[in-house]
Amino acid sequence: MTLADEETDVGPGALTGWRSGVDRAYAYLAGLFVIALLVQVFLAGVGVFGDHARKVANATSLDPHRALGSVLGMVAIVLFLVALAARASRLTVVGAFLVALLTLVAQNALASGGDSNKWIGGLHAFDGMLILLLSIWLAGAAHRREAVRRRSKAPSPN
């Protein structure tokens, strides 16, 4: 089984029954997560240009970014749990775990560290881009799996 096969799970162990439905829910949730991440980047920009407090921790213009970040952390956990339930592929589960880890642990640690060190703060932004790229890949793989399922269910023209 190649990496592409594992990513879309088109092999003999393709998802059926309730696992297929769970994976479909995962695909939609992953797509919404990507959209929310794009909103998160926008809110970071609004926050940075909206308030010129001495310390980032005191910048109230970043409150929407912080709030959405907390929500995204919880959604990342849900994505991981749904990926585990669907058991779509090992790459999906590991990728979802990595997104949850980067979103919950790394983002909070880097944001806190950024208050006293601009380079650590820069890593907070870099980690956010890694989360976005990994999430796009995971959502794309999930939607490709769904497309494969739809094609396999479609009647063949005779």
6 alpha carbon, distance to own chain's centre: 19
Check residue 50 and give its pLDDT: 81
Q: What is the pTM of this model?
A: 0.82
pLDDT at 51 over 90: no
What is the per-residue pLDDT across 61-93, written as a single tens digit (0 to 9) for each? 889 999 999 999 999 999 999 999 998 889 999
Average pLDDT over residues 83-104: 94
Helix axes 63-86, 107-114, angle to 10 degrees: 160
Residue 6 exposed, middle or buried by CB count within 10 Å (0-12, 13-18, 19+): middle
Six token digits for residue 144: 């490709």
pLDDT, position 1: 44
Q: For residues 105 and 88, give the distance between their C-alpha atoms in angstroms, rounded to a whole number.
A: 25
Confidence of residue 14 (pLDDT cuts 50, 70, 90): low
State the average pLDDT over residues 11-15.
51
Cα gap 126→135, rounded to integer Å: 14
Percentage of the chain modeled with pLDDT above 90: 58
Q: Average per-residue pLDDT in the chain?
A: 86
Q: Are 135 and 33 in contact (CB under 8 A)?
A: yes
Task: Give pLDDT, residue 142.
Answer: 93
What lies within 8 Å, CB to CB, of 23 at 6+ separation is 15, 86, 88, 142, 145, 146
Taking the C-alpha atoms of residue 112 and residue 57, their distance in angstroms, rounded to an integer, is 8
